[in-house]
């Protein structure tokens, strides 16, 4: 399939109606101030998922509840390699299930204040993990 989706600036390009008043989603595009392409969901418990190894032609309304998502966002949380199930409030804002690689520095702070933060940084020269208290 090829083609161009034409949408008015700052509007919805694709609408996904659900038939339920409090649900629905859309692919939206806007250029006010900068540029943004977003998947907008009407209800905060609606999940956005990337699922690998699942045949989309066999999906039904409940298929997502047993999926093994590679990536899922729900309730302002992002989970990698783990399903946030039905009626589950995510415990973390960000969770990775499995091995992770973080290149560079990891900063842990309180209220995004650099004056109250701790950094973890791998020291290549010394082959050590440095804890930096700011």
pLDDT tens, position by position, 90-116: 999 999 999 888 777 777 777 666 667
Does this model's pTM top 0.85? My answer is: no
- Please determine, for residue 79, whether its predicted confidence score (pLDDT) is greater than 90: yes
Q: Could you tell me which residues are beta bridge partners of residue 77?
A: 74
- CA–CA distance, 14 with 2 (Å, rounded to integer): 15
| 4-43 burial code (b ≥16 CB/10 A, e <16) | eeeeeeeeeeeeeeeeeeeebbbebbeeeeeeeeeeebee
- CA–CA distance, 26 with 14 (Å, rounded to integer): 5
126 token code pair = 């010394």
Extents of the domains making up the chain: 11-96, 101-134
- Please determine, for residue 15, whether its predicted confidence score (pLDDT) is greater than 90: no
């Amino acid at each position: 399939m090829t083609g161009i989706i034409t949408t008015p600036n700052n509007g919805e390009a694709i609408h996904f109606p659900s038939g339920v008043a409090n649900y629905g989603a859309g692919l939206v595009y806007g250029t006010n101030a900068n540029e943004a392409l977003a998947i907008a969901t009407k209800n905060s418990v609606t999940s956005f998922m990337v699922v690998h190894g699942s045949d989309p032609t066999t999906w039904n309304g409940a298929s997502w509840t047993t999926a093994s998502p590679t990536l899922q966002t729900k309730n302002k949380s992002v989970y990698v390699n783990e399903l946030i199930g039905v009626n589950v409030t995510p415990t973390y804002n960000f969770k990775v299930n499995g091995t992770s690689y973080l290149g560079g520095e990891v900063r842990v702070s309180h209220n995004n204040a650099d004056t109250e933060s701790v950094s973890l940084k791998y020291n290549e020269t010394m082959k050590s993990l440095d804890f930096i208290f700011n």
